[in-house]
Structures are given as structure tokens and as C-alpha cells.
Chain A
Amino acid sequence: MSQRIDPACLMRIKSLELRAKTVVEGTWKGLHRSPYHGFSVEFTEYREYTPGDDPRHIDWKLAARSNEHYIKRFEEETNLCCHMLLDLSTSMQFQSLGYTKAEYAKTLVATFAYFLAQQRDATGLIIFDEQVETVIPARFTRGQLRRILIELERPPQGSHTNLISPLKHAVETIKKRGLVVLISDLMSPLDELNTHLGYLRAQGHEVALFQILDPAEIHLNFHETAIFEDLETGERIALNPKAARENYQQQLQEHQAAIQSFCRKQGVHYHQLTTDMPLELGLSEFLTDRAA
């Protein structure tokens, strides 16, 4: 197994692409697969060119020899159409390790995008907070990865989370069956999340849910009595964390249990990632889970 990359070190790399590249290549090495050979680019057969085919796929060398136009047929060509739904609401701006959950999530999205681009898969991105902010339809083109990375590097607008609108958008717009990945801290109410995930599953999509949490959100390891301010609502309460910890952790566990419960029912891949976990762990877990 390769060495894990410490997220704190990874986040110090400014370029999102470089981060993604670091993780992906690290993961591939970890999986003992070369990123530079084969995979989904092995062709199986030739077929005669018919009008409407992309002329880029004509084998010109063969045409020169035989004066016939043939098209290469690739194995698993564009086998996957992946849509990533990224939550960039203000709650994702919380941090206790020197980088926010949003940055961690963006790196995760970039990693996926890079990975899928390497596999010649179509990738799309929907960024949302209260409403859908950015939509990049899934495509497999050369510039797709660049477009995604540019969108990811935009500064966040920030408001509270509304999970329903991006899910609705996804249900309405994604026609081709594929993979839908939702990346969020899921700290908002889960009222209709179950229903909308159900819609997606009903459309035949494969759905993965990545919950990004900060370790401080799980353990509530604050020691000083202080005023706590909600990043999304601006609500303030004076709190003694020691006294509140037990109750908080209990409620959080219930919340997590609820999520896991409906994910299991709906057949959604659920992954909880804390921001101190190496990113490639999330990627490899996901791949392993999907292969199973």
C-alpha cells in the first residue's frame, strides 16, 4: 500500500489540479495500476465509417494503406456519465485544521474529475448552496476537466444549504443513466433528501453520498466557554462545550444513523469523510465499494 498523503500537506498545494493529480496518481499506484497505459482505451475492432461518425476516430494510417475508411471501436468507450453535486453553503466554511470543509470537498471533486478524465469518462458538476449556482453538464471533452477546475476555484458566494433544489435539478436534467455523487456536510434538515434520492435511484442512477465533516464537529472538543455562532443562520448562543458535548454527540449520532438508514434502504453508497482523513482513502473506498 502506498503512503497516505496528509490532507494538511495536500491543502497547502495551491493548484487544485495538482492536488487532484497528486491524489489520483497516489491512489493508482496504491491500486497497482498504471495511469498511463491501457485501461479504457484499448480498441476491440474496426468498423466501416458511416456518415455521422466523428472523423477524429478514423484510422488514417489504415486509410492510407487500404484506401478504406475505418473507425476504431474502443472498449468501454465513455462507459460512465458522472454528475457531481457539490454543497458550498456557509456551513462548509467551518474549519478547525487550517482548511475548510469546502476546500476539502473541492479537492475531492477535483480528484474525481481528474480520475474520471483519465478514464475518458464524462463528468459534470453542479455547485449549490441555497440554490443551484453552477451547472456544468457532463461531457467527455478535452476542456471539461479545465472547466470544472475553474468553477471549483471560484470564491464561494455562501448562504445556507438547500439540498432539494440541486437534487430536483439533477432529476430533471440528467437523462442518461450514470453516477450521481452528492458531496455535502448534510448538516441541514434531511426532510426531503430521502425522497429525492429515491427519485434519482428510480431513474436508474447510481448514487453516492459523501458526507464531509470536520473532526471538531464530531467531537466538539472545545474547552473554553464561548459564544457559538451558526455560520449559516448567524444565530448565537453562549455555551459551555463541556456541558453540551454529550447531548450534542448523541443528537449527531442520531442524525448520522438516519442518513445511513435511508442510504441503505435506497441503495445509495454512503461515505463519511472527516477533513483529517487522506483523500485517496475516500476515492479508493468508493472504488472498492462500487466494484463490490
Chain B
Amino acid sequence: MSFLTPLYLVGIIAVGLPILLHLVRHQPKNVFYFSSLRFLEHKPPQTNRKNKIEHWLLLSLRALAVILLVTAFARPYFKNQDLKLASTQPQSQTILLIDTSASMQRDSLWEKALTQANEIIKDTTPNQIAVYTFDTQLTAIKPLRQSQETRSASSLERNQNLLEELTPGWKATDLGTALTELAALLQEQAVSDPTGSILRHTNIELITDFQAGSRTESLSEFSWPEELSVRLHQLEADNLDNAGLQLLSLDDESQPTIRIVNAADSQQEKFTIAYEVQPAKLEKSQQVYVPRGQSRVVRMAAWQQPVPVPRIVLSGDQQNFDNHIYLQPPVRPNLTIVHYGTPAENSIESANYFARRAFPSTSQRDIDFQTIGPDSPPLLLSATEIHLMLISRRLAPDETEQVQRYLEQGGVVLLTLHDDQSTDSLNQLATHNTDTTALIETVSPEINGYALLTDINFEHSLFQIFQAPEFSDFTRLKFWNYRGLKLPEQIPHRVLARFDHQAPAILEITRNKGKLLVMSFGWTPQESQFALSTKFVPMLNAILTLNDRAQNTPAQFTIGQKVKLPVDQQTRLISTPDRSQIKLASDQQDFTETILPGLYQVESGTQLPPTRQFAVNLDISESQTEPLAREKLEALGVHFTDSGLKTEENTSPAELQRQAQLRELEQKQQLWRWLIIVALALLGLETVLARWLTGKSSATGKA
């Protein structure tokens, strides 16, 4: 054990005090004035001249309390191996955090950033620097761990070469995420440090244009370590004028609605927007007045010619990086729905009547609804072209095969049990006729007047749209009749809703890639209120969207956004705006390399015309290029140091640093607190013991 302030140990002499008091205690000090001493025999108390101690326990308690208090003042701590390491190798590191977001492309900002970074690298010992860049995410160029492991190999030149390879990208700035991730990394590193000095001796050199569009929300959920500080190198552009464009919507007639955002420190307020058909060839231009720090929404004239799709260009400001919007009109998908039911036109007793009306064609989609009756000619469509199958009657054997094939290819089938015979079709689809012992049975249901839905699985995508409290009331939906189902365990299934007598109402049976949804009731008014309820249309359309191929595919994205791709093509190539091609794996569903603004084309290996085209544009927040208030980050807990100052550890002599580490170690262990607690406990015990020994003190006082 060592002591931070050993001089306080001199106070241990005070331990003699309780002994002295203990011995002196026998000399009575109190004087009682008594009416008469006539009847009092002179019996002097035993004043112990032999210095005999009566209560050893009391004395030792008092002495021990004094010793503990003195020791607490001397601030003890335990030295350990880690401290030795720390004291011999003082931890000191610099983290260079460079902004590579789109706004850094403004005139000479990137050159300034590189100059600043090179200066910092020169001023720092080469093996103590780590380099990170950030835009929407933090990227390690020379990570923390590497900076420690390869201490000997690092050199100034190598670090400078790392910088030369960097360029600003097109992504938005998420300063909050970058700082929190970096701080979290440092905290992880500091876990193994017994002195906790890593954070204190780490200096984050932040080189950024510090624009107002930087996101900082992540910091509000993060507790910034008090020891960690950031030195901000804020870069200023030569020209402050900047306005940006954002596409708000692109309607069916290809008429775009755009927003123009003017930066708060901009000098310009008049801008021109136009379609750019070819380079430097502008059409349908219009003037827009946008006061500084504000935005305006403009609906542009429709662009009639389908090809080529032009881009929208803004002119009037000095910064060009955010002055373009690429347009891609959405594709209206053709969806095919097949209903194996009884065709009965205009009869509300038919399930088909309601099903057909639940899927209208809209501006977003074109629906081809085909009803296949028992006597209808066989279906000529291939299973891959069908987006949803509805079954409300008993299927013929060839129809069953077709549905089974459709299910195997990942289709979605909704089977409703309008009558008891439908159970046979259910058994064939669910069990695939492989095991005759595992058959779904129907039992007569318990219905007292009507049944209601309970135990609804609102987490399932079928019911997710009803999750909000104002939509989750299913008590008005009454069922007069349904089929009680008994499913064997061999059939893997999930009950999505039950009737109030616990019989399954809606089931999901997964068949290979496909999904078979079973409703144990019919939706016609003879059997239930379902078709007439407000839940009917949303629920059937939710079933349609269970099929990935039936989902609407958006065509407008921002930089860095994930693009969901169809899975039905074998080999896919994506042409990027810089003419390079990226090959995707057959099962890859997401495309994440949307790093450049422009038009992307998805091409399959076999079909020549591109199956899909989408546009990627810049995040509008990058256009807010006025400086961010430093106080905003400080309010979120980030500590800034002045960029002109050197940190303490660089200037302090080694001894001072060691003392600081010892102080930190002592503060971390905080043994003095325990010593004081034990001393107080001992004094409490002593008080109780002394009271018990001396008995109740005299109530009769002094005259």
C-alpha cells in the first residue's frame, strides 16, 4: 500500500489522545452542589494512580478509529502492475477525424483540410496518431489498435501518404454518430487501463467545415466522457453562397415538386431552376426568390418526353456540388391476382364479388384480377407471373398442383373455408399428400350467436397496419359461422388470430418459400361481417404485399440509402453513374453502394433492356452550409479545447505526469472513503458500548 499524502500519517500521534483521555477520565470534573453533606460518608472514588486502563475494548476502538481517520487523510492506494506499465509508457494519442462529406467538395475546403491534417501529423509523434474519416458513418483509415501495434513501423511519410489517398464523397454528414462511435471505441480501449488516463490523454483533432446540416442527434443519447476533449479545426469556404435542391415528389405525369434551400450565410437570394436535357442546354427555366436561411417549394412544369429523362439544375450560387437532381419516374407495376372461386357477377352472396373490389387498379399499380370457376378453362399464366392466389372453393386436382407449384416458387395463397369441403383442398396444400395421418380436421365450432376475434398477432405484417389503438378494435367484426380446425403438430403453422372460443381463425402455414394463409371462415355477409368491415380491404392488400414481387419499388433514393432489389433474376449487373458496373450475387436483395448521385440501372444477365432504373440524389442537409453553433455540441456534452493550446501531457514533465496518474489511481480506488466509513462505524460502536458501560447518565443535574 502506498500513500498519496504520507505526511498526514504524522497525525497517528493523535492515537495517544484517547489513551490520555481514558486515563484522565477518572479525575472527576463535574461538581454537584448538594444540600448537605452531613449524611455523606467521605468515600473518594478510585482515581487510578497506577494508570490502569479499565476498558481495553473502548480504548482500542477509539485508537483504531483515530488510526483509520489519519490513514484516510494520507489517501492510501494499491499500486499494481498496470500502473507500472502506465507510468513507464505514458499513454498519449491523437486521433485525426476528417470530414469527407459532400459539403467538403466546396471550392478549396478539401485542400485546407489536407493542409491542416498534415500540420497535425507533423506536430504529433508518428506512432501516436490514428486517422479516421466520417460522413454518414465513421471509417477507420488508420485505426486506434493499429496505431498502437505498429508503433515502430509508423512514420511521418506513411501517415502523410494515407491522407493523399483520401477524397471527399457525396454522403451526408453525421457528426454525432462519428463522435459517439469514436468515443465508444476509446472507452472500450480504456476499459483495460487501470488509471483511466487513456481518455484524458487522447486528443481528437476534428477537421470539418462544421456545417449546420451535420446531424448531431446521436450525441443526445450518448453520455460523452468527461475526460475526452475535441479540438475543432473549423474550415471556412472562400465563397459562402450556397443553395441546394431536394426532390419532394414526382407525380404520375412526371411533374416534379422540388424544394430549394438557401444557406443562412448566403449572399444570393435569386436562383434559377431548369431542366437540363443535354450539358449546358436548359429548358423551362424559372426564377425563384429564396431568402437566406429559408426554403421554397416549387412545382415545376411537367416533362412530357419520356426519354431521355433530364435532370433539374439550379444556378445562381457559387457552390455547384448540390445543384442537380436526377429524376426517375416510378414504374407502374402490373399485378395479377387469381381467384379460385365461384364467379357470380353482382351477387353479394359470392366471395368473388368482394375480392374483386378489394383490389382496384390505381395510379400506383395495375391489377389483373382473374376468377377461375369450377367450370372455367384452365389457367394459362405461369406461376411466376401471379402475385396472389385466393381460394374460396374446393380445388380440382390439376388446380391443386398449380397452387402447390406456385407455393413452392415463393407465392402467397389465401385459402378461405367457405364450406366444409374446402378442408380437403386445405389438406392437400398443407400436407402435400405425403402423410395421411397428419391431416387437418374440422370440428363443429362453439358459437353462441356470434364469434369474435381475439389473440390477434399485431406484430405480423398482416395486422401491422391495425397496430395503432384507433384501428385495433376488432370487436365489431362478428362471425356467424366458421370451421373449427384441429391442426396436427407435423404441420408447421402459426396462428395469427383466434376466435373467442380459442379456435384458430387465421393461420399461416409456410410451404418452402411460399406462404399459405388460411381463414377458417368465409367473408360473405351470410357467414361474417368481414367483407363489409373496414378491415377487409386493408387486410387483403396486406396479404398481397406479403409477396415481395408485388411490392412497389421506389425509384428515388438519397446517397447511401439501401435499395431493395427483386430476387427473381439470376445474374444482375448494376450500372453506376460513373459508367462502372457492379455485379451482384443471385440472392443479394439489397444494393448499398449508392455512393454517387445519378441514375443507376439494374440489368439482368439475359434480358438486355434494363429491368429497373433508379435515381440517387444528394441529401438536402448537405446544402445547409452555414456554420453549426459550437454551443449546440457543447450542450450535448462534447468538450472542446482551444485549437491554439497544447495539451497538458505534452508540456508536463514526467514526474508531474506520474503524479497525475497516481492521483487518478487513488481517485479510482478511493480507499479513503472505506476507511472513513469503518472509522465512523467504530465510533458508533464505541458510543453504544460506552453508554452501556457507564449506564444511564444522571438525570439529576447540577444545582
Whether, in the assembled complex, A63 has its beta carbon less than 8 Å from a beta carbon of chain B, the answer is no
Q: What chain B residues lie within 8 Å of A216 (beta carbons)?
A: 700
- Kindly state the separation between the CA atoms of A238 and B46 in the bound complex, as whole angstroms: 10
Whether, in the assembled complex, B35 has its beta carbon less than 8 Å from a beta carbon of chain A, the answer is yes
Kindly specify which of B36-44, B67-75, B172-180, B472-480 makes contact with the partner chain. Answer: B36-44
Interchain CB contact under 8 A, B33 and A231: yes
Contact of A224 among B37, B42, B698, B703 (CB under 8 A): B698
Within 8 A of A (CB), among B37-61: 37-47
Contact of A228 among B26, B32, B697, B698 (CB under 8 A): B32
Residue of B nearest to A220 (CB): B40
Closest 9 CB pairs of A and B: A94-B35, A226-B30, A251-B39, A240-B45, A96-B700, A187-B36, A91-B35, A225-B45, A223-B698
Whether, in the assembled complex, A21 has its beta carbon less than 8 Å from a beta carbon of chain B, the answer is no
- Kindly state the separation between the CA atoms of A92 and B36 in the bound complex, as whole angstroms: 10
Q: What chain B residues lie within 8 Å of A225 (beta carbons)?
A: 26, 28, 45
Contact of B39 among A93, A221, A255 (CB under 8 A): A255
Q: Mark A142-168, 1 if CB is under 8 A from B, else 0.
A: 000000000000000000000000000
Whether, in the assembled complex, B694 has its beta carbon less than 8 Å from a beta carbon of chain A, the answer is yes
Most A C-beta atoms less than 10 A away, residue of B26, B33, B42, B696 = B33
Q: What chain B residues lie within 8 Å of A248 (beta carbons)?
A: 39-41
Interface of B is mostly: loop
Most B C-beta atoms less than 10 A away, residue of A92, A230, A251 = A230
Provide a sorted-by-A list of 16 A–B residue pairs whose CB atoms are within 8 angstroms: A91-B35, A94-B33, A95-B703, A96-B701, A217-B34, A221-B700, A223-B697, A230-B34, A230-B37, A236-B31, A237-B42, A238-B44, A238-B45, A239-B40, A240-B43, A248-B41
> What's the least CB distance linking A194 to chain B, in Å?
17
- Kindly state the separation between the CA atoms of A290 and B257 in the bound complex, as whole angstroms: 119
Extra inter-chain contacts (17) besides given A224-B697, A229-B34, A251-B39, CB under 8 Å: A91-B35, A94-B33, A96-B700, A187-B36, A189-B38, A214-B35, A221-B699, A222-B698, A222-B700, A231-B33, A231-B34, A237-B44, A238-B28, A240-B43, A240-B46, A244-B40, A247-B41
Whether, in the assembled complex, A54 has its beta carbon less than 8 Å from a beta carbon of chain B, the answer is no
- Kindly state the separation between the CA atoms of A235 and B33 in the bound complex, as whole angstroms: 10
- Kindly state the separation between the CA atoms of A230 and B43 in the bound complex, as whole angstroms: 15
* Category for how many chain A residues contact B: 35 or more
Whether, in the assembled complex, A232 has its beta carbon less than 8 Å from a beta carbon of chain B, the answer is yes
Q: What chain B residues lie within 8 Å of A185 (beta carbons)?
A: 35
Whether, in the assembled complex, A31 has its beta carbon less than 8 Å from a beta carbon of chain B, the answer is no
Interchain CB contact under 8 A, A237 and B37: yes
Contacts A230-B36, A237-B37, A255-B39 given; indicate if A223 touches B696 (C-beta within 8 A).
Answer: yes
Interchain CB contact under 8 A, B42 and A231: no
Q: What chain A residues lie within 8 Å of B32 (beta carbons)?
A: 222, 226-229
Q: What chain B residues lie within 8 Å of A239 (beta carbons)?
A: 40, 42-45
Interchain CB contact under 8 A, A221 and B31: no
Whether, in the assembled complex, B695 has its beta carbon less than 8 Å from a beta carbon of chain A, the answer is yes
Within 8 A of B (CB), among A79-117: 91-96, 101
Residue of B nearest to A223 (CB): B698
Q: What chain A residues lie within 8 Å of B45 (beta carbons)?
A: 225, 238-240, 243
Seen from chain A, the residues whose Cβ lies within 8 Å of a Cβ on chain B are: 91-96, 101, 185, 187-189, 214, 216-217, 221-233, 235-240, 243-244, 247-248, 251-252, 255
Interchain CB contact under 8 A, B696 and A229: no
- Kindly state the separation between the CA atoms of A95 and B700 in the bound complex, as whole angstroms: 8
- Kindly state the separation between the CA atoms of A217 and B701 in the bound complex, as whole angstroms: 12
Most A C-beta atoms less than 10 A away, residue of B31, B32, B697 = B32
> What's the least CB distance linking A235 to chain B, in Å?
6
- Kindly state the separation between the CA atoms of A95 and B29 in the bound complex, as whole angstroms: 20
Q: What chain A residues lie within 8 Å of B698 (beta carbons)?
A: 221-224
- Kindly state the separation between the CA atoms of A180 and B28 in the bound complex, as whole angstroms: 44
Interchain CB contact under 8 A, A227 and B28: yes
- Kindly state the separation between the CA atoms of A227 and B46 in the bound complex, as whole angstroms: 13
> What's the least CB distance linking B403 to chain A, in Å?
102
Residue of B nearest to A216 (CB): B700
> What's the least CB distance linking B701 to chain A, in Å?
7
- Kindly state the separation between the CA atoms of A113 and B179 in the bound complex, as whole angstroms: 94
Q: What chain A residues lie within 8 Å of B47 (beta carbons)?
A: 238
- Kindly state the separation between the CA atoms of A221 and B34 in the bound complex, as whole angstroms: 12
Q: What chain B residues lie within 8 Å of A92 (beta carbons)?
A: 35
Contact of A223 among B26, B35, B38, B694 (CB under 8 A): B694
Within 8 A of A (CB), among B662-703: 694-701, 703
> What's the least CB distance linking A130 to chain B, in Å?
14
Interchain CB contact under 8 A, B31 and A227: yes
Most A C-beta atoms less than 10 A away, residue of B29, B38, B46 = B38
Q: Mark B297-316, 1 if CB is under 8 A from A, else 0.
A: 00000000000000000000
Q: What chain B residues lie within 8 Å of A231 (beta carbons)?
A: 33-36, 703
Q: What chain A residues lie within 8 Å of B39 (beta carbons)?
A: 247-248, 251-252, 255
> What's the least CB distance linking A157 to chain B, in Å?
17
> What's the least CB distance linking A260 to chain B, in Å?
16
Residue of B nearest to A222 (CB): B698
> What's the least CB distance linking B334 to chain A, in Å?
104
- Kindly state the separation between the CA atoms of A255 and B46 in the bound complex, as whole angstroms: 29
Interchain CB contact under 8 A, B34 and A244: no
- Kindly state the separation between the CA atoms of A95 and B703 in the bound complex, as whole angstroms: 6
